[in-house]
Structures are given as structure tokens and as C-alpha cells.
Amino acid sequence: MTSRQTLIVGDIQGCYKGLRQLLDKCEFESSRDQLIAVGDLVARGEDSLATVEYLMSLNGSFRTVLGNHDLHLLSVIEGIKAPNPKDNLDNLLASSRLAEISYWLRRFPLAMKLDAQHTVVHAGLFPLWSTSQLLALSDEVSQALSSTRYLELLNNMYANEPQNWRESLDGFARLRFIINACTRMRFLSTDYRLNVAEKGKPSAAPPHLKPWFELDNEHLGGHEKIIFGHWAALTGVTDKKQVIGLDTGYVWGNTMSAYRVETGEIIAVSAG
């Protein structure tokens, strides 16, 4: 690559070695290019601390949307939740830079628009929302995350309710729905009820549940693309031109993927 590129990388999950291999393969130059992540920067991989320190070192060349694992890390840092025993966060939690890491992380949004075409969000676009509504709702959560309500929000974040979106939702129920839709959604029932329990492949789900991208979204423009992660069981396959899944399960031994915005290419490295 000799011209500036914008790369969107799938779920990194603390897989530092895979991230660096993927960026090398893409010929990523931090002085020239932009790197954007779909969230879940940390968790089960071999080195969540090295991953975060590297991404922080990129300064303005790196941005992310927040994933469920990133929000959970904030709760763990604040002592609201215990670390998940399946995660590998010990070195990160022991870091002398922990306060700096928390401050850095919680200033990122749940969703971002790169241009008129490309929207990035960890779990997906709730199909009753337009991308501009998604951005406005993401801002509501960001305001709480950067305010004195920060700890209260983390304390009120853990529940699977409400399942139905209503514009009249308010308080923490509203913020929780936005967080669940943006960071945990996979399936919805056909009446647009959020189901965050089911995790497998669409073909293995009960018939009343559909992947979020299979439900009609009358607000999504024909030129728009949604770039998301979170759902490793899809291995990136959505069968929709407008919906680009980048969680290809590197942490489970599969691949880590990046989408090159300028060309529409997917570049991947294998864990095996």
C-alpha cells in the first residue's frame, strides 16, 4: 500500500500477536493510515495489556466502538464485577496504567459513522433504528459514561430487560436497551424483541428467532453498510451485501479479519 488506508479490524479479544500479524499483512502504517476496531479489544487472548498499550500508542490513528467485553472490563476495573474466570486479564488489571486505560476506553462510543456509507457498531444495528438514530442513542450512553453517573450506569447495565424498544423508555432502562442492542444483540424475535441469550449459528436457532440483519429495516439507506463483530459463530457470513461481519473467531482458533474501506477487501490471518 502506498496510499492512505482505513482498516476496520474485527474482535481482537487480547490476541496481540494476531493483531500485529494482521496489521503487517495489511502494511498498516500508523503515521499514514487509520485503524478502527469493532470492539472487544480485550478478554480471552494471550495478552490484553499489550493489545491495549499498542492501540493507545497509536493515538489519533486508532478509534474503536465499545463491545460487551470492553464495558465489562470497566466494571471489573471499578470493582463492580469480578473478572470472568475464562478471561485472561491478570496482567492488564495489575498494570500501573489501569486508571489511564479506563479513562481512555470509556471515551469511545458505542457506534460511529466513518462517512455517509459506513457505520461501525459492535453487535449490529437494531432494525427499528436508522444509523443517525443509532448515533444519537450511542451519544446518550457516551454522555453517561463520561459523567458522574458513570459508576451508576455500570451498576445498572447488567440485565436482559427491557426486550422491547420504545422511544418513551427513559433512565437506566433506556440506556441498558441501547447498550444491549449495540453490544450484545444477535437474535431478535420477529416482533423485534431483543434476545441476548442465544449465541449459536442462525441455522441452529429456534424458528421464532432471526439474526438482527434478517429483519426488515426500513430506515437503512441502500448505499449504507453496517460493519460489526461480536458473533464468531457466523464466521463473517451474513449473505447481505450491506452487512459486513468481522468477528471471524481468531480467539477460537480461526481467523482475524480486517476490512479495507477504500477497496472493500477483507484481509485475514489465521490463528492456526
Question: By the criterion CB under 5 A, which residues form the site for Mn ion?
Answer: 40, 67-68, 230
Q: In sequence order, what DSSP letters do the residues of 182-251 get, joined into one string?
A: HHT--EEETT--EE-S--S-GGGS-TTEEEGGGS--TTS-TT-EEEE---GGGTT--S-TTEEE---BGG
Minimum CB distance to Mn ion, residue 172 (Å): 21
User: Rounded CA gap, 60 and 176, in Å?
Assistant: 29
Minimum CB distance to Mn ion, residue 32 (Å): 29
Minimum CB distance to Mn ion, residue 219 (Å): 24
Nearer to Mn ion, 83 or 97 (CB): 83
Minimum CB distance to Mn ion, residue 247 (Å): 7
Per the CB < 8 A criterion, the answer to whether 199 and 188 are in contact is no
User: Rounded CA gap, 59 and 175, in Å?
Assistant: 28
3-class SS of residue 214: helix
Minimum CB distance to Mn ion, residue 43 (Å): 8
Indicate the angle between helix axes 48-57 and 98-105, nearest 10 degrees: 60
Nearer to Mn ion, 45 or 67 (CB): 67
Nearer to Mn ion, 121 or 258 (CB): 121
Nearer to Mn ion, 173 or 233 (CB): 233
Residue with CB nearest Mn ion? 230
Minimum CB distance to Mn ion, residue 221 (Å): 26
Asked if omega into 162 is within 30° of 0 (cis), the reply is yes
Nearer to Mn ion, 137 or 185 (CB): 185
Nearer to Mn ion, 10 or 127 (CB): 10
If we measure between CA atoms, which residue out of 117, 154, 160 comes closest to residue 259?
117
Biggest distance spanned by C-alpha atoms of the chain: 50
